[in-house]
Chains A and B, each alone.
Chain A
Amino acid sequence: MIAPPGIQAPAAVDSISHDLLEVAMGPHHPSTHGVFRMNVVLDGETVVKLTPVFGYLHRNHEKIAEKNSYLASIPYTDRLDYICSMTNNWAYVLSVEKLTGLAVPERAEYIRVIVAELTRLFNHACLAGFLLQDMGALGTPMMYAFREREKILDLFESLTGSRMMCNYMRFGGCRCDLTAGWLEQAATVVAGFDSFLDHFEALLNGNEILCARSQGVGVLPAGLAVNAGVTGPGLRASGVNYDIRKVDQYGIYNRFKFRVPLGRCGDVFDRYMMRILEMRESLKILGQALHDIPAGAIIDPKAKLRNLRPKPGEAYGRIESPKGELGFYLISDGGSAPYRYRVRPPSLINLTVLEDMCLGHAIADVVIILGSIDIVLGEVDR
């Protein structure tokens, strides 16, 4: 063969050589849901080994919390799982309330449930949208989901002042009471969400491309899921009945009638359907909460805003966030800042089984499997 000047022609090859190719997917990658890198070793298109690498968004939130007061850590928790700021706030204030023994008035508990379930609604809708975008649907389901999310973000802005970084919960209750007309507006949004879900499912559930790409892909066996600490919709898609709202019954969740959907085999399709079914259950909880919410105080009269100094001790408080079990472990030494402040991030621990789910699949499936785990890097890296 004729080679360009200055370049030596390669030697002729007799047989087709068979090499493994290592690809670094990310951290700048449109499908990795944030700054997340996967070192994937490929044999052709099949994944042979996968190593997740993260830490690109590590802000050492835990160390900052050791220097700031308990109150000052609340806005930082907004920024952990930056999509679901209300549930992050709730997990943290729940742990502090366990540490200090503050009681929460009834109206505040109802408001917390309402905003947490609204958060779960738009998180699951967006996850379905992002997953479909990873499959190639290029934005249509995502935009439909975002249309509904906008209505809920307007609700949060009129209540807290900010769409995403809400900074709303306080120790012993909530920061401010519902504005006039908020409950009616929320009831309208919830009423319209059911028909949105009907159309969303009509758009997607029977779609042959979705079914072919997700059924049988990324199967997570139940035993591995429990041992690896997977929680949230990913665990329930594998058939394990563990929803912290039912197990711990934190807040006033024992007053609401709702079911816990379970999946059959734990593949991507099951995880996707889990989100849809959980959205339906959240709508039931919201209907009941919006109907039953009483009037009253929204913060414990014994709660102090400034200079909170819990007695020495420790507490671990956890909630069922849309991603899984979000827990906060706090050790107090009697000072105004926590001695140890630890976030138990569901996204990080759900990633333990990423390699197990991806082995043997094509590289295109890796993106879908990662999308179905539902990670947010703010929480993985803190």
Chain B
Amino acid sequence: MQTPEQIKDRILAAFPDAQVEVIPNGSPASQPSLLLAPTQARQIAKFLRDDPALRFDYASNATGVDWPEKTVKEKVKRKKVVDGVENETEELVERKTPAFLEAVYHLYSMALGRGPLVIRLRTANRADNAALPSLTPIWRSCEFQEREIFDLFGIFFQGHPDLRRILMWDNFVDHPMRKDYVPADAAEVLP
């Protein structure tokens, strides 16, 4: 069973300048994921599918996740010089987490009976630069799923053969699964 770290090493051996990062997973399921840079994603995906030791020929699930900007308060230890004496103080620092949309793919190998390998692609932001390379030319199973991510999240997949809305009607504006989506008729039914 190859761990994501071993797979990352294998990818780096084939593409030395690739940016691959292992993202840990806090749950007991322990399925850590590989974060790939969008520019090299399609080459690496093809390598994952065709390499004889990996043979990830089956993309089971492709999904989108919305990560809006969040303000996180953290305690940071800082060394401060007060009256000539160096003190270590704890300060409450606010920082904003980056806002992006993410496409997560779960890959399995039917030939070798392995998996899952989780790969993630992140967009630059949630506004004007929400484009990612489509992995449909590599795994055809992503065809409808990437259309759904485009429809519900707004990630534009470059290279997708037929990118249009799939679940919402064609003239619909907005992306329902985003965290800041407000439905047109927001009145909830209360008895």
Binding site for B on A (CB under 8 A): 54-55, 58, 60, 62-63, 98-101, 224, 226-231, 240, 242, 247, 310-318, 325, 327, 329, 331-332, 339-340, 342, 344, 348-349, 351-353, 381
Contact = CB atoms under 8 A, between A and B. Distances in A.
B119 to A, nearest CB: 12
A316 B118 contact: yes
B139 A227 contact: yes
Nearest to A230: B141
Interface of B: 25-29, 31, 57-61, 63, 65-66, 104, 106, 110, 113, 116, 118, 139-145, 165-169, 176-177, 181
Contact of B61 (A60, A313, A342, A352): A342
Given A63-B176, A226-B57, A314 B110 contact: no
B167 A381 contact: yes
Nearest to B166: A55
Contacts of B144: 348-349, 351-352
B31 A316 contact: yes
Given A55-B168, A231-B60, A315-B25, 14 more contacts: A98-B29, A100-B27, A247-B113, A310-B27, A311-B26, A311-B27, A312-B27, A314-B25, A315-B31, A329-B63, A332-B27, A344-B60, A344-B61, A348-B144
Main secondary structure of the interface of B (DSSP, over half): loop
A332 to B, nearest CB: 7
A99 B166 CA distance: 30
29 contacts: A62-B177, A98-B29, A101-B27, A101-B28, A226-B57, A227-B141, A228-B140, A228-B141, A229-B59, A229-B140, A311-B26, A313-B25, A313-B29, A315-B31, A316-B31, A316-B106, A316-B116, A317-B29, A329-B106, A332-B27, A340-B65, A342-B61, A344-B60, A344-B61, A344-B63, A349-B141, A349-B144, A351-B144, A352-B144
Given A316-B118, A329-B104, A352 B29 contact: no
Residue picked from B61, B104, B165, most chain A C-beta under 10 Å: B61
Nearest to A316: B106
B116 to A, nearest CB: 6
A93 to B, nearest CB: 14
A229 B59 CA distance: 6
A235 B15 CA distance: 33
B94 to A, nearest CB: 19
Given A227-B57, A329-B61, A329-B106, A100 B28 contact: yes
Given A55-B168, A99-B29, A310-B27, A316 B139 contact: no
Nearest to A248: B115
Contacts of A314: 25, 27, 29, 31
B28 A63 contact: no
Given A229-B59, A313-B25, A342-B61, A352 B140 contact: yes
B104 A54 contact: no
B29 A58 contact: no
Contact of B26 (A229, A312, A344): A312
Contacts of B106: 316, 327, 329, 344
Contact of B140 (A224, A316, A331): A224
Given A54-B166, A352-B144, A240 B29 contact: no
Contacts of A240: 110
A349 B143 CA distance: 9
A9 B57 CA distance: 60
B179 to A, nearest CB: 8
